Structure formats: C-alpha cells, structure tokens
Amino acid sequence: MIKVKKRKILLLPGDGIGPEVINEVQKIIEWFNKNKSLDFEVEEGLVGGASFEKYKSPITDEVFYKALESEAIILGAVGGPKWDNLEFSKRPERALLKLRKELKLFANLRPAICFKQLVDASSLKPEIISGLDIMIVRELTGGIYFGEPRGITPIENGERKGTNTHTYTTSEIHRVARVAFELAKKRKKTVTSCEKSNVMEAGMLWREEVQVLKDKEFKKVELKHMLADNCAMQLLKNPKQFDVIVTDNLFGDILSDEAAMLTGSLGLLPSASLGAKDKNGKMRAMYEPIHGSAPDIAGKNIANPIASILSLSMALRYSLELDSEANLLDLAVQQVLDDDLRTKDIMSAGKKEVGTTVMGDAIIAKLK
C-alpha cells in the first residue's frame, strides 16, 4: 500500500474517565493506519489535573507546543472535585481556556443529534425530538468570558464588586458567522442568529453584523434572528425548527448544553473547536466530548466512549478532510447501537449492557 504523508494527532486524555475513552480513540486511529493506508502520527500529553499533579500546572509549555504542531487535538476531559480549591490560574479548566485562546479556536461546533435508537431517552415526546439534528456554532474566544476589565474589587461600605465585560467587534462576529453560514450551505441552508439585542448594545451589533455578512456573501442562505431567551424556550417547544444556530460565547455555552440534553444521550455527543484557515487551507482545531470527567466512575470500565469516538469522526471530517472515513466511523457507531449494545449511561430494558472497552471493540469490528 502507498502511505500518505504523516499527520500529527495529539491526544490529551486528561482526568477522570478521559484516559479510558481516549484509549478507545487511539485503538480506532491504529485501525485506520493499518487498514486504510493512513499514517497518523499520534502523540500524547498530560493536561488538566493530571498535569497539575506532576508539573503543578494545568498545561506545560511542552504540551502546548505539541498542540501548535498538531493538525488535530483530541481531548478526553478535565477537572474534578480534587482540584476545586486550587487558585483560579491552576485549575484544570484553565488548560482548556489557554488552548482555545492561544490557538485562536474561535468557533465551537456542538451538534445536537437524537439517535433513532435512543429517542425514548429524551425527556421530550418522541414526535418532538425524533430526527433532531441541530448544529450550534458558539463564538469561543470573545465576549464576557474574555472581556476586560474584569475582576473582584473592594468598594465602599465594606462591600465588593464583581466586574465582567461583554464586547464584540465586527471581525469577531463575521468570522464565526461565516463558519455558521458555510455549514448551513451543506445542510438545510438556514441559520438562526441569537443575541439579546433588545437590552444589550453588543447584541445590537451582533444582529446587525450577521445580517451584513449574510447580505454580502450568503444571499442563498436564509437568516433568522431570535432573542437568546426565546431560543431557549423554542428549543424545548419545537427544536426541529432549527438547523444551524450561531450565537456568542455566553449564550452559546447555555444553549448548547440545553440542546444536548434534549437528546437524552450526553455520552454520545462530540464537539469541535475550530480556528481560522491559513493560506494553505489548514486550520488548528481541538475535538472533545461534551461530557465531563465523571470521576465517580473513573477506572471502572463503564464510561461511554462514543462521544470521544465521534469527536475523532469530526476531526477526520473538518481537520483531515477524510469525509469517507468519517462516514465509515459514524456508520459503525449506528450499527453497534442497532445491535442493542449499550453502556450503563444509555442502558434500557431489553438491551445488552457492555463496558468501555467492549463498546470500543464492537465499533472497530463494524469498520470495513
């Protein structure tokens, strides 16, 4: 077989169940290398609490430089009660913020898909949730999470004041909206932009600039504007009205979690954080499951690896331009669910409960 050029994938297992689910991802990468004439070069690094325990830092310069040199980063999960009392700069989650900010990963893609095999797991009626397929595009490096000034300061009368600043510029809005419109072109050609333009000037700017970009570059894509609180309500009332939703950092954080929970299967949902493409069409990107580190079940071989495996699928599709391989992996996951295999988190009557490694091996067995 002729080998294609080596492409670096950095695996960051992290904390809790992260190492267990990322181990299944590594097995699938090895399968692709062996059976599909691919030649991924895989490196690993410590991040989050695991990094703090060894280096007293949530991410080291060495691991960060590995991230800079990688075509795709796949993260397991970070955090846990063990590190809750650390000073803010040392907490495991700071590693994520550093990677997102320094790698300029400005667009977070969060699919909310209701798998047909798990429609009964949703808290909504089957007729409302069945067939759901939403993509939420969240701006990731601006807004109130990064704005200055920020902090807690003493004021008169012995009180304290907490300050966070919510700002966006035209270019920040355009670049994330462009990602949403490009995605919509390949889907149902509809984008819903969410903000709070009725009470926030930054929201007014967001609405105006998304409209400007649509009118200039994406005339064939339908654009709807919706207030973020109304969007939260509509996701519960009629979620299938949405295709692609684009919104800012704060509202995206909230709405994407809500949309994910609609599906009833958090353990199956991946995410992607994308940067801008360079002159050669390459971009930095990080992929991760949306679930947390779940320290209470770590080491028990019961964690669901599917969200991490589908994060690899997103990496194949968006970073490595291997759509056929991504489709193959997506199909394998669907076939395993069709075979009624379930990890503990998605188990129901009449199905077969399996552990992390058995689920990963079953998916590999479906790859052809």
Out of 55, 133, 229, 366, the active site residue is 229
Report how far residue 194's alpha carbon sits from residue 185's, in angstroms, rounded to the nearest whole number: 19
CA distances from 329 to 29, 110, 128, 203, 311 (A): 11, 18, 27, 39, 10
Q: Is 61 a catalytic residue?
A: no
Closest CA to 80 of 12, 16, 21, 19: 16
| DSSP code, position 326 | H
What is the C-alpha to C-alpha distance for residues 37 and 2, in angstroms, rounded to an integer? 7
Q: Whose CA is closest to 31, among 335, 332, 343, 242?
A: 332
Whether 84 is a known active-site residue: answer: no
Distance of CA 338 to the CA centre of its chain: 25
- The one catalytic residue in 90, 104, 185, 257 is 257
The verdict on whether 253 is a catalytic residue reads yes
278 Cβ partners below 8 Å, 6+ apart? none
Instruction: Give the three-class secondary structure for 144.
Output: helix
The H or E element that residue 331 is part of is helix 323-338
Angstrom distance (rounded) from CA 209 to CA 295: 42
Q: Which of 15, 168, 196, 214 is catalytic?
A: 196
**Known catalytic residue: 39?**
no
Give catalytic status of residue 196 as yes or no.
Answer: yes
**Which entry of 145, 168, 287, 318 is annotated as an active-site residue?**
145
Amino acid type, 66 = K
> Is 110 in contact with 138 (CB distance < 8 Å)?
yes
3-state helix, strand, coil in the chain (%, to 5): 45, 20, 30
Instruction: In whole angstroms, give the CA distance from residue 316 to residue 331.
Output: 14
Report DSSP letters for 200-254, one per residue: -HHHHHHHHHHHHHHHHH-TTSEEEEEEHHHHHHHHHH-GGG-SEEEE-HHHHHH
- Answer yes or no: are the C-beta atoms of 210 and 181 closer than 8 Å: no
Candidate list 90, 104, 185, 253, residue with the active-site label: 253
- Six-digit token pair at 253? 């954080």
Q: Which residues are catalytic?
A: 145, 196, 229, 253, 257
